[in-house]
Chain A
Amino acid sequence: MKKQLIPLGIFAALVAFLAIGLTLDPQKLPSPLIGKPAAEFDLPELYTQEPFSPSQLQGKPWILNIWASWCVSCRQEHKLLVDFSKGNQTIIVGLNYKDTPDEAKAWLKELGNPYTITVEDPQGKAGIDWGVYGVPETFVIDARGIIRHKFTGPLTKKRLREELLPLLAEFEKEAIQDEN
Chain B
Amino acid sequence: MIPEIGHFSLIVALSFAFVLATLPLIGVYKNNPAFIRLAKPAAFGQFAFMAFSFACLIYAFTVNDFSVKYVAANSNTQLPMIFKVSATWGAHEGSLLLWALILALWTLAAGFFSQSLPENLRATLLSILGMVSIGFTFFILLTSNPFERLMEIPQEGRSLNPLLQDIGLAIHPPMLYVGYVGMAVAFAFAVAVLLRGEFKMAWADWARRFTVVAWAFLTLGIALGSWWAYYELGWGGWWFWDPVENASLLPWIIATALIHSLGVTAKRGIFQSWTILLAILAFALSLLGTFLVRSGVLTSVHAFTSDPSRGVFILVFLVIVVGVSLWIYSIKAHEITKQKRFTFISKESFLLLNNVILVAMMATVLLGTIYPLILDALGLAKLSVGAPYFNTVMLPLTIPLAIMMGLGFFSQWIEDKPKRLLEKLWLPLFASLLVAFLVPLLLLPEFSGLAVLGLFMSSWIAFTALFWLLKGNHAKLVKPSMQNLGSSLAHIGFAVTLTGITITSLYSIEKDVRLDLGERYQINEYEFEFKGVSQKEVDNYLASEGLIVVYQNGTELTRLYPEKRMYLSQTMPMTEAGIDAQLSRDLFVALGERLTDTAWAVRLQYKPFVRWIWLGSILMALGGLIAITQRRHAKVKVSQAPKAKSDNSNPAKTSGQGVAQA
Chain A residues near B (Cβ < 8 Å): 1, 4-5, 7-8, 11-12, 14-15, 17-24, 26-30
Query: B421 an interface residue at 8 Å Cβ cutoff?
Result: no
- Point out which of A22, A23, A28 has the most chain B C-beta atoms below 10 A from its C-beta: A22
B393: A residues at CB distance < 8 A: none
B318: A residues at CB distance < 8 A: 15
Which range holds the interface residue count of chain B? 20 to 34
How far apart are B649's CB and chain A's nearest CB, in angstroms?
40
Whether B327 lies near A8 (C-beta < 8 A) is: yes
Write 30 A-B pairs (CB below 8 A) sorted by A numbering: A1-B331, A4-B333, A4-B334, A7-B330, A8-B330, A11-B284, A11-B322, A11-B323, A12-B323, A14-B370, A15-B315, A15-B318, A15-B323, A17-B370, A17-B377, A18-B291, A18-B295, A18-B297, A18-B315, A18-B370, A19-B315, A21-B298, A21-B377, A22-B295, A22-B308, A22-B311, A22-B312, A22-B315, A26-B373, A26-B376
How far apart are B162's CB and chain A's nearest CB, in angstroms?
24
B333: A residues at CB distance < 8 A: 4
Fill in one digit per residue for B295-326: 1 if any A CB lies within 8 Å of its CB, else 0: 11111000000001001100100110011001
Chain B residues near A (Cβ < 8 Å): 273, 277, 280-281, 284, 291, 295-299, 308, 311-312, 315, 318-319, 322-323, 326-327, 329-331, 333-334, 370, 372-374, 376-377, 382
A27: B residues at CB distance < 8 A: 299
Q: Is the interface of B mostly helix, strand, loop or mixed?
A: helix
* 5 additional contacts (CB under 8 A) given A4-B330, A28-B382: A21-B297, A21-B370, A24-B377, A26-B372, A26-B373
Whether A20 lies near B308 (C-beta < 8 A) is: no
A30: B residues at CB distance < 8 A: 382
Output the nearest chain A residue to B311 by Cβ-Cβ distance.
A22
Q: A15-B318, A21-B376, A21-B377 are in contact. Are A1 and B297 (CB under 8 A)?
A: no
Whether B323 lies near A24 (C-beta < 8 A) is: no
B296: A residues at CB distance < 8 A: 22, 26
**CA of A145 to CA of B487, assembled, Å:** 68
**CA of A26 to CA of B369, assembled, Å:** 13
- Point out which of B291, B331, B382 has the most chain A C-beta atoms below 10 A from its C-beta: B382
**CA of A12 to CA of B323, assembled, Å:** 8
Whether A24 lies near B376 (C-beta < 8 A) is: yes
Whether B297 lies near A24 (C-beta < 8 A) is: yes
How far apart are B395's CB and chain A's nearest CB, in angstroms?
26
B323: A residues at CB distance < 8 A: 8, 11-12, 15
Give 10 nearest A-B pairs by CB, closest first: A21-B297, A20-B377, A8-B326, A4-B330, A21-B373, A26-B299, A4-B333, A22-B308, A5-B330, A22-B311
B295: A residues at CB distance < 8 A: 18, 21-22
How far apart are A131's CB and chain B's nearest CB, in angstroms?
13
- Point out which of A5, A23, A28 has the most chain B C-beta atoms below 10 A from its C-beta: A5
Output the nearest chain B residue to A1 by Cβ-Cβ distance.
B334
- Point out which of A5, A26, A30 has the most chain B C-beta atoms below 10 A from its C-beta: A26
**CA of A45 to CA of B323, assembled, Å:** 62
How far apart are A116's CB and chain B's nearest CB, in angstroms?
33
